[in-house]
């Protein structure tokens, strides 16, 4: 069974209050449901102190979930002790900020409360009050301005302020005004889909669905549409709390996630965090959420609507999703809060990162005496044909087929795969990752969904056969087949641990140009550059299309960069082999290679070049020392 260690668990969710002074119509706290099961109460300072002291690995605690944290009279003591112990506090789930003293607002800044999400579902008093019943919009705005006043006084970026705007039919028209106000208040606006029927009947469903689709990150108007569009469960990310940041009630009962209020997995205050997280019931719940075992009676997930939807869509948690995110350690928070400040701590962290890069490069050049390669195994030069028969998984509507994977002097790791995506299918909701990608469409037609695409062209782009695109690192994206036939494409995905160049190539898509007329060049070869630029992972990424007349080609030579080629038409000879249409050719840097058109018609292909400084080029002194010590 899945039993993650608590040794490296740095983050938990510890409810500061299950009481709330507002009466929001769709909230189970307002209806009294959570109070019946969890009790209406507050986290005591003594219990908070006990958790912090007993778990020195913890460096982040989220305080908000069902109630309003500012109703807790022990909050000032909690803020101060967390600061003393170098534990970062947040209320990222949300606070209504209606009832709070100026002393507490100052304490948020003074004790470096890391992030505060303000739940403000409207940009005017009248609209705000429709859902936030008994709330006072003007008072909330005043409290936000007070926080900003103290941030300026203390010269502090904390707390980072977020404006959470749950989109309803009655407030959707105020989204533009909310954006403007958030910018003026130095807040980040976060639009959120309503709970729909998660806890009650749907309240104030959206009216202008096209408007909401344009504004919401995933391009949908409600959570049901999200599941229909992507074949995924919108709230599934909450299930990851069981691995990454387990939810604990104010009285110590461990609830696992932020959705559950009807049952628990033990009591942290009585039994300790490690015992509760690795108890049989918690382990069984994790196995259920990964689809490894059938639903088990007595496990809170059985009564959850989210788990029900996961079963219906066969959308389970994967091992890759359970990895814990980076959370600053207590030591780093100590340096940041009490020694160097944010600016100089940031510089120190960057310097340490550069030093680690130098150590890594030293071992790459010298060679690891223990025989453990620091980079991926080298990519082998060769011709990689696509599978003859490619079909999508019936349940997912998508299937990938790996072609090759490895590293070289230019990339720490590069993978290439081909995939098939059924009509109407989407492989995943918009996601982001540190790798960069190139996608070349071989068949079908795709909608490319880009929630953060800048400009006036909208957040969707259409890609047709003969088109390809580039995703920068950490750029949200997904695709959806809009043709009547499955889409088939080739994907290159890479990452580099070398220092980042100054430039950054932004997202773009292109149509592969017809090369100049065959034979127009003296050597029977015509090439057209498509793009070139620096990226976060590469000194230069370059793409061009080439057309060879029958018999034309070039003699063997060696490049300092890696080269990937996709055959589009015809047949060529290279590496003492023949490559035909839709074959992938890969030449790692330093590989001698030439090419000849071996067919009777023109040979067309698309070329990508991956340029990056090698370790020796980046750090010549380190490289020289490594050569001396060999």
Check pLDDT > 90 for residue 596: yes
CB 257 within 8 A of CB 237: no
What pLDDT does residue 353 have? 57
What pLDDT does residue 8 have? 82
C-alpha distance from residue 229 to each of 160, 201, 371, 460, 509 (Å): 33, 22, 47, 14, 23
Tokens of 353: 């990162």
Q: Please, which pLDDT band fits residue 500 given cuts at 50, 70 and 90? A: low
Pairing outcome for strands 188-193 and 160-167: parallel
Residue 549 CB partners (closer than 8 Å, separation 6+): 518, 519, 524, 525, 597, 602
Residue 80 CB partners (closer than 8 Å, separation 6+): 107, 111
What pLDDT does residue 358 have? 53
Pairing outcome for strands 398-406 and 413-421: antiparallel
What pLDDT does residue 342 have? 80
What pLDDT does residue 455 have? 63
Closest residue by Cα to residue 571 from 379, 380, 385: 385
Tokens of 367: 């060679």
What pLDDT does residue 381 have? 95
What pLDDT does residue 617 have? 44
What pLDDT does residue 371 have? 41
Query: In angstroms, rounded to a whole number, what is the distance separating the alpha carbons of residues 443 and 455?
Result: 28
Tokens 């109407």 found at: 424
Check pLDDT > 70 for residue 375: no
CB 4 within 8 A of CB 35: no
Q: Tell me if the domain spanning 11-322 has CATH number 3.40.50.700.
A: no
Closest residue by Cα to residue 264 from 38, 81, 527, 470: 38
What pLDDT does residue 199 have? 65
Angle at which helices 620-628 and 341-366 pack, to 10 degrees? Answer: 40
What pLDDT does residue 220 have? 87
Residues recorded for the chain: 630
- For 366-375, what is the mean pLDDT? 45
CB 568 within 8 A of CB 541: no
Check pLDDT > 90 for residue 627: no
What pLDDT does residue 626 have? 41
For 559-574, the DSSP string reads -SSEEEEEEEES-EEE
- For 475-480, what is the mean pLDDT? 92
C-alpha distance from residue 345 to each of 210, 335, 336, 351 (Å): 44, 7, 5, 10
Q: Which residues pair with 464 in a beta bridge?
A: 445
Check pLDDT > 60 for residue 374: no
Check pLDDT > 70 for residue 21: yes
- For 436-444, what is the mean pLDDT? 96
Tokens 């071996």 found at: 598
Query: In angstroms, rounded to a whole number, what is the distance separating the alpha carbons of residues 189 and 529?
Result: 40
Closest residue by Cα to residue 327 from 111, 58, 146: 58
Least confident of 89-103, 251-265, 400-414, 611-625: 611-625
Mean pLDDT value across the chain: 88
- For 591-600, what is the mean pLDDT? 94
What pLDDT does residue 521 have? 60
Check pLDDT > 60 for residue 291: yes
Q: Please, which pLDDT band fits residue 623 given cuts at 50, 70 and 90? A: very low
Q: Tell me if the domain spanning 382-615 has CATH number 2.60.120.10.
A: yes
Q: Please, which pLDDT band fits residue 214 given cuts at 50, 70 and 90? A: confident
Closest residue by Cα to residue 509 from 489, 528, 531: 531
Tokens 């019943």 found at: 133
Burial class of 576 by CB neighbour count within 10 A (0 to 12, 13 to 18, 19+)? exposed
* Gyration radius (Cα) of the chain, Å: 28
Q: Please, which pLDDT band fits residue 621 given cuts at 50, 70 and 90? A: very low
Question: Is 166 in a helix, a strand, or coil?
Answer: strand
What pLDDT does residue 155 have? 94
Query: In angstroms, rounded to a whole number, what is the distance separating the alpha carbons of residues 208 and 364?
Result: 57
Q: What DSSP designation does 258 have?
A: S
Q: Which residues pair with 574 in a beta bridge?
A: 577
**Helix, strand, coil in percent for the chain, rounding step 5:** 30, 25, 45
CA 120 to chain centre: 25
Least confident of 175-184, 514-523, 533-542: 514-523
C-alpha distance from residue 370 to each of 8, 34, 408 (Å): 26, 56, 20
- For 441-456, what is the mean pLDDT? 86
Check pLDDT > 90 for residue 618: no
Check pLDDT > 90 for residue 384: yes
Q: Please, which pLDDT band fits residue 361 given cuts at 50, 70 and 90? A: very low
Query: In angstroms, rounded to a whole number, what is the distance separating the alpha carbons of residues 268 and 14?
Result: 10
Closest residue by Cα to residue 112 from 83, 78, 153: 83
What pLDDT does residue 87 have? 97
What pLDDT does residue 501 have? 53
Sign of torsion over alpha carbons 73, 76, 82, 84: negative
**Each residue of 560-577: pLDDT tens digit?**
999 999 999 999 999 999
Q: Please, which pLDDT band fits residue 515 given cuts at 50, 70 and 90? A: low
What pLDDT does residue 554 have? 94
Tokens of 524: 């029977």
**Each residue of 122-173: pLDDT tens digit?**
999 999 999 999 999 999 999 999 999 999 999 999 999 999 999 999 999 9
3-state secondary structure 138-164: HHHHHHHHHHHHHHHHHCCCCCEEEEE
What pLDDT does residue 434 have? 85
Instruction: State the number of CA atoms in the 13 A half-sphere of 212 facing the CB.
Output: 23
Query: In angstroms, rounded to a whole number, what is the distance separating the alpha carbons of residues 135 and 141?
Result: 11
pLDDT > 70: percent of the chain: 88
Query: In angstroms, rounded to a whole number, what is the distance separating the alpha carbons of residues 24 and 38?
Result: 18
Least confident of 1-5, 259-263, 275-279, 533-537: 1-5
CB 519 within 8 A of CB 513: no
Q: What are the extents of the domains in the chain? A: 11-322, 382-615
What pLDDT does residue 266 have? 95
Q: Taking the chain, what is the end-to-end CA distance rounded to the nearest angstrom?
A: 46
What pLDDT does residue 625 have? 42
């Amino acid at each position: 069974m899945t039993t993650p260690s608590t040794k490296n668990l740095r983050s938990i969710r510890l409810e500061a209050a299950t009481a709330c002074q507002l009466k929001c119509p769709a909230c189970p706290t307002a209806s009294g449901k959570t109070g019946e099961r969890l009790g209406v109460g507050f986290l005591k300072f003594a219990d908070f102190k006990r958790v912090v002291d007993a778990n020195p690995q913890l460096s982040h605690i989220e305080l908000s979930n069902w109630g309003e944290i500012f109703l807790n009279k022990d909050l000032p003591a909690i803020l101060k002790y967390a600061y003393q112990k170098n534990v970062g506090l947040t209320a990222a789930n949300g606070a209504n900020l209606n009832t709070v003293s100026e002393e507490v607002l100052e304490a948020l800044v003074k004790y470096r409360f890391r992030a505060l999400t303000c739940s403000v579902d409207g940009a005017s008093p009248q609209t705000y009050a429709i859902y936030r019943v008994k709330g006072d919009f003007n008072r909330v705005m005043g409290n936000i301005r007070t926080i900003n006043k103290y941030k300026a006084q203390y010269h502090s970026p904390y707390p980072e302020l977020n404006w959470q705007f749950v989109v309803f039919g009655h407030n959707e028209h105020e989204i533009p005004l909310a954006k403007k106000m958030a910018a003026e208040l130095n807040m980040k606006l976060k639009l959120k889909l309503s709970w729909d029927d998660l806890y009650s009947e749907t309240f104030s469903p959206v009216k202008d669905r096209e408007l909401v689709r344009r504004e919401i990150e995933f391009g949908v108007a409600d959570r049901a549409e999200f599941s229909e569009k992507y074949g995924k469960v919108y709230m599934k990310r909450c299930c990851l709390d069981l691995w990454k940041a387990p939810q604990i009630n104010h009285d110590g009962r461990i609830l696992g996630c932020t959705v559950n209020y009807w049952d628990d997995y033990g009591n942290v205050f009585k039994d300790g965090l490690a015992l509760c997280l690795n108890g049989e019931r918690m382990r069984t719940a994790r196995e259920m959420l990964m689809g490894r075992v059938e639903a088990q009676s007595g496990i809170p997930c059985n009564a959850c609507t989210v788990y029900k939807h996961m079963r219906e869509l066969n959308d389970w948690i994967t091992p890759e999703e359970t990895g814990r995110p980076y959370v600053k350690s207590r030591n780093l928070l100590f340096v940041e809060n009490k020694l160097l400040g944010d600016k100089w701590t940031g510089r120190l962290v960057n310097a340490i990162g550069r030093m680690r890069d130098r150590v890594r490069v030293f071992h790459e050049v010298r060679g690891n005496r223990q025989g453990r390669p620091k980079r991926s195994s080298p990519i082998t030069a060769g011709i990689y044909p696509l599978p003859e028969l490619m079909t999508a998984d019936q349940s997912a509507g998508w299937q990938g087929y790996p072609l090759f994977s490895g590293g070289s002097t230019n990339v720490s790791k590069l993978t290439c795969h081909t995939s098939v995506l059924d009509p109407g299918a989407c492989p995943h909701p918009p996601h982001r990752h540190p790798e960069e990608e190139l996608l070349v469409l071989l068949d079908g037609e795709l909608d490319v969904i880009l929630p953060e695409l800048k400009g006036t062209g909208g957040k969707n782009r259409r890609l047709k056969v003969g088109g390809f695109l580039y995703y920068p690192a950490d750029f949200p994206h997904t695709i959806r087949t809009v043709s009547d036939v499955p889409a088939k494409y080739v994907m290159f995905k890479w990452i580099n641990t070398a220092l980042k160049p100054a430039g950054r190539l932004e997202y773009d898509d292109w149509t592969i140009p017809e090369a100049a007329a065959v034979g127009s060049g003296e050597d029977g070869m015509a090439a057209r550059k498509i793009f070139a630029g620096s990226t976060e992972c590469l000194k230069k990424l370059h793409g061009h299309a080439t057309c060879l007349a029958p018999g034309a080609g070039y003699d063997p030579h060696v490049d300092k960069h890696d080269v990937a080629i996709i055959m589009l038409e015809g047949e060529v000879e290279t590496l003492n082999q023949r490559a035909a249409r839709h074959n992938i050719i890969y030449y790692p840097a330093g590989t001698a290679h030439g090419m000849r058109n071996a067919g009777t018609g023109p040979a067309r292909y698309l070329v990508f070049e991956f340029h990056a400084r090698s370790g020796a080029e980046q750090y010549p002194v380190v490289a020289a020392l490594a050569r001396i010590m060999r």
